[in-house]
Amino acid sequence: MYNVPIGVFTSIDAGLGVNFEVVCELGLKSIQLHTPQRGSRTPESASNFLYKLRENSVKITAIFLGFEGESYETIEITAQTVGFVPPKTRDARLVEAFEISDFAKLLGVIYIGSHIGFVPHDRRSNEYAEVVETIRSLCKYLKKNSQALTLETGQESVQALLTFINDVACDNIFVNFDPANLILYGIGNPIEALKLVAKYVRGVHCKDAIATTGTPGVDWGREVPFGSGQVDAEKFIRTLYEIGYNGALTIEREIPQQPEKQKEEINAAIKLINSIKGQIN
Ligand code: MG
């Protein structure tokens, strides 16, 4: 038995996760939370939410940064709008990330997850140096709050991600491994990638996808229920066990416009993961 908790990606007032009532209905005790909107990031709402969490014995393993203006409509729009790479919004988003870190601290959350965006490929460019410097500032701020950054996988190859982590050179930068993103963005085999970043993995998303039949890296693949795509759910969870990962297995299913279907599919994923965990010894 691989004895790690199952969690789910959750949203309160923004983002693509399930809402908290669904977490309770599904009987889960572990969540990752998409950043609440600015108006909800008050000490009062933190203490109300903490009360709810305690009442239901639910633990938040990570808060994921999310910013206004981000769009995942196409891969190209994602590159233009997401994370800390777009220069126009970079400084304001860094300040907002500090605020989110402080809010996460009120909730006792250690890991701050982030899609930093498409990191520029030329390591000698000014743009690359600027993104490295921005993420270094973020890591330093998180360190003061006894927190760490987890980079969501997918938007670049794992080799490029490892180089970036190395260049940021902070001891509180890790990875949240999302195997489906590697397929969605056309980056490569998720299991091989997982082995390469093994020592940095501090969170995972149990998400699945089918690669595009168009041009990888230009056209999106298709997100599908966990276990029905090209990730190979069983191999993924076995590999997590083999690399010694002992955090939560957080299910992510990004179809908030179909809440009933979302709940059903998450429930099916819970059953599948439990059965795979049970076979591991
Ligand atoms: Mg993800």
User: Does 25 have pLDDT greater than 80?
Assistant: yes
Q: What is the mean pLDDT of residues 218-244?
A: 96
Q: What's the residue count for the chain?
A: 281
Q: How far is the CA of 178 from the centre of ligand 1 (A)?
A: 5
pLDDT in tens, 106-118: 999 999 999 999 9
CA-CA distance, 19 to 119, in Å (whole number)? 31
User: Does 96 have pLDDT greater than 90?
Assistant: yes
CA-CA distance, 256 to 168, in Å (whole number)? 34
Q: How far is the CA of 64 from the centre of ligand 1 (A)?
A: 10
User: Does 14 have pLDDT greater than 80?
Assistant: no
Q: What is the mean pLDDT of the chain?
A: 95
User: Does 51 have pLDDT greater than 80?
Assistant: yes
The interaxial angle of helices 259-279 and 233-242, nearest 10 deg, is: 50
User: Does 249 have pLDDT greater than 70?
Assistant: yes
User: Does 254 have pLDDT greater than 90?
Assistant: no
Q: How far is the CA of 205 from the centre of ligand 1 (A)?
A: 5
Please name the amino acid found at residue 123.
R
CA-CA distance, 115 to 33, in Å (whole number)? 14
User: Does 243 have pLDDT greater than 80?
Assistant: yes
CA-CA distance, 126 to 115, in Å (whole number)? 20
High-pLDDT (> 90) share of the chain, % = 89
Which pLDDT band, with edges at 50, 70 and 90, does 281 fall under? confident
Q: How far is the CA of 276 from the centre of ligand 1 (A)?
A: 21
Which pLDDT belongs to residue 136? 98
CA-CA distance, 198 to 215, in Å (whole number)? 29
Q: How far is the CA of 252 from the centre of ligand 1 (A)?
A: 6
Q: How far is the CA of 254 from the centre of ligand 1 (A)?
A: 9
Q: How many other C-beta atoms are found inside a 10 Å radius of the C-beta of residue 96?
A: 18
CA-CA distance, 240 to 245, in Å (whole number)? 5
- The more confidently predicted of residues 92 and 13 is 92
User: Does 9 have pLDDT greater than 70?
Assistant: yes
User: Does 15 have pLDDT greater than 80?
Assistant: no
For 101, 150, 206, the CA distances from 248, given in Å and listed in that order, are 21, 14, 10
Assign domain 6-279 to its CATH architecture. Answer: Alpha-Beta Barrel (3.20)
Q: How far is the CA of 154 from the centre of ligand 1 (A)?
A: 8
CA-CA distance, 91 to 232, in Å (whole number)? 39
Which pLDDT belongs to residue 212? 94
User: Does 134 have pLDDT greater than 80?
Assistant: yes
Terminal-residue alpha carbon distance, the chain: 5
Q: What is the mean pLDDT of residues 72-83?
A: 93
Which pLDDT belongs to residue 241? 98
Which pLDDT belongs to residue 255? 85
CA-CA distance, 127 to 131, in Å (whole number)? 6
pLDDT in tens, 152-163: 998 888 999 999
Q: How far is the CA of 268 from the centre of ligand 1 (A)?
A: 18
User: Does 16 have pLDDT greater than 90?
Assistant: no
Which pLDDT belongs to residue 141? 98
